[in-house]
Structure 1
Amino acid sequence: MSKALSVDLRVRVLAAIASGLTHRQAGERFAVSAASVSRWRKLEREQGDPSPGARGGDRRSQGIERYGAAILDIVAANQDITLAEIKTALEARGVSTSIGGLWRFFDRHKITLKKSRRTPAGRIAPTS
């Protein structure tokens, strides 16, 4: 995974632009692309500083949290339900999600779903 360039470099590049250099000239002087210079300038205008945003991690599955009550209701109605069945039940309610997103939801909340045995235990040899 790539690493964001330092805030110090970003500040120096933006100071060079403030002193009159173009984006291309500043990029050549500091060995960065003109597109990066433009993005850093935009960040500085929008958020006040050119510091990079958070990198890595799971940024998409947090949206499922607003449907947490519905998910828990579905699970409470049927304790022996699979993630695919939960996904289908949510789609019927108009919620689009993935099995991986559901898995991360349950992992975050420390909820484990254990399947019950489909067949009774055998008399001669245990079935597990």
Structure 2
Amino acid sequence: MPRALSVDLRKRVIAAIEAGASCRQAAKRFGISASSAIRWHALSKARDDVAPQRQGGDRRSKRIEGHADTILGELARTPDITLVDLRNSLAGQGIAVSVAGLWRFFERRQITLKKSPGMRPSRIAPTS
């Protein structure tokens, strides 16, 4: 992911625009795109700050976190449920989630679902 340009550069572009240059002229002078200069100018008018906002991060987990009680309740009812079965059960209740989303949900809570061995190995003959 590309990094945001420095606040110093942003302030110099805004200063050039406020000194009378157009956004496109200021962009050409400082070697940035015209759209960036236009956005920075609008940003400086709207909130008097041109600092870049945080990039990346999780933006979707709050949607599944809203259904945490339902998901954990379903897990308590059926402790050995698979993620696919859990997703299908939630879909029946009108909650659309992905298997990967459920995986991350449980990972955040450090809940691991391990399969237990079905039976001990036979000492006499191999079992299949």
Measured against the shorter chain, the TM-score band is 0.7 to 0.9
TM-score (norm 2): 0.86
Aligned residues: 126
Distance apart, 1:66 and its partner CA: 0.9
Distance apart, 1:126 and its partner CA: 8.6
Flag structure 2 segments of 5+ consecutive residues without an equivalent.
Answer: none
| Matched AA of 1:22 | S
- Name the CA distance, whole Å, in 1 between partners of 2:57 and 2:46: 24
Any idea what SS the aligned residue of 2:36 has? Answer: helix
Aligned in 2, Cα 1:32/1:99: closer, same or farther, shift over 3 Å? same
| 1:87 and 1:98 in contact (8 A); partners too | yes
Of stretches 99-108 and 49-58 in structure 1, the one that deviates more from structure 2 is 49-58
Aligned in 2, Cα 1:126/1:116: closer, same or farther, shift over 3 Å? farther
Distance apart, 1:17 and its partner CA: 1.0
Q: 1:107 maps to which residue?
A: 107
Aligned in 2, Cα 1:42/1:116: closer, same or farther, shift over 3 Å? farther
| Matched AA of 1:44 | S
Q: 1:55 maps to which residue?
A: 55
Pairing 1:82-97 to 2, within 5 Å after superposition: 82-97=82-97
| Matched AA of 1:99 | V
| Matched AA of 2:29 | R
| Matched AA of 2:122 | R
**Higher CA-based Rg:** 2
Q: 1:67 maps to which residue?
A: 67
- Name the CA distance, whole Å, in 1 between partners of 2:3 and 2:66: 32
Of stretches 25-34 and 40-49 in structure 1, the one that deviates more from structure 2 is 40-49
| Matched AA of 1:8 | D
Flag structure 1 segments of 5+ consecutive residues without an equivalent.
Answer: none
Any idea what SS the aligned residue of 2:66 has? Answer: helix
Distance apart, 1:57 and its partner CA: 2.7
Distance apart, 1:2 and its partner CA: 0.8
CA-atom RMSD in angstroms:
1.9
TM-score (norm 1): 0.86
Aligned in 2, Cα 1:45/1:87: closer, same or farther, shift over 3 Å? farther
The percent of aligned pairs where both chains have the same amino acid is 48
